[in-house]
Amino acid sequence: MRVNTLKRAAVAFALALPGAAIAAVVAAPAAHADGCYTWQRTLQQGRSGDDVRQLQIRVAGWAGAGGIVRVDGRYGPETTAAVKRFQTAYGLRSDGIAGPQTFSKLYQLQDNDCTPAHFSFAELDDGCGRGGWSGGPLSANQTKANALRTMWKLEALRRGLGDQPINVTSGFRSTTCNDRVGGAADSQHLYANAADLTARTRSLCELARAARNHGFSGILGPGYPNHDSHVHVDSRRENNSDRTTNRTSWSAPDCGVRSGG
């Protein structure tokens, strides 16, 4: 929070100054020393490392129609395409290379706890009102990391909808909580890989259709049983284990949203 607050304070201060002074003050803050994570080198196809992984988490919502971006620390064609879409969405030069401009935009978008600007951990950890990340099949840390990945996709979805607010009505659920609300036994909510959504300024069908472009392999909405009051999105394809192979599954019949269509 500290760094972003300072940056914002600097900008706010600059806005209060006469025109001539503005350019100098706004240009002053370096795009370094971000409060969450700072990239140290330009990244492009062929690179690998944890810095690539950090980038992938943040652009995974720009996977394109029906796609996903694997968060594997390898900058391949999927990542290049996602970076291009991210750049286009934010009015940057779209070259698929993550350099200073792209990182600046990411610093601007992320809070010091690494959540994207318009979503917070508190919105995802409801767990039937209990809060926290424990009580599911994964460790609390793994669960929280999944919640972060979910939020970056939601940030992309929000941008894709034209910067319209999205409300999360249910995020992570502990096993106890999931049982209480009658969730499926293998619900992605147990892994913090899912969110139930509504939006005041967009219809549920608009949400469900847009979600297809933002890395969500699970979409359930109007026309699917018990999903006429919200849209469920999840990342089931990234949650494969030895025991299960989760494939893309979309069903919002009233919106014309279905797998493979």
Using CA atoms, how far apart are residues 6 and 178, in angstroms rounded to an integer?
41
Cβ proximity to Zn ion, 98 vs 195, nearer residue: 195
Instruction: Report which residue's Cβ sits closest to Zn ion.
Output: 232
Instruction: Tell me which stretch binds Zn ion (CB under 5 A): 11-19, 89-97, 115-123, 232-240.
Output: 232-240
CB of 236 to Zn ion, least distance (A): 11
In the stretch 194-223, what mask flags binding to Zn ion with x, by CB under 5 A?
A: --x---------------------------
Using CA atoms, how far apart are residues 259 and 103, in angstroms rounded to an integer?
34
Sole binder of Zn ion in the list 85, 232, 236, 237 (CB under 5 A): 232
CB of 248 to Zn ion, least distance (A): 16
Instruction: Tell me which stretch binds Zn ion (CB under 5 A): 19-27, 146-154, 192-200, 236-244.
Output: 192-200
Residues near Zn ion, by CB under 5 A: 196, 232
Residues designated catalytic: 227
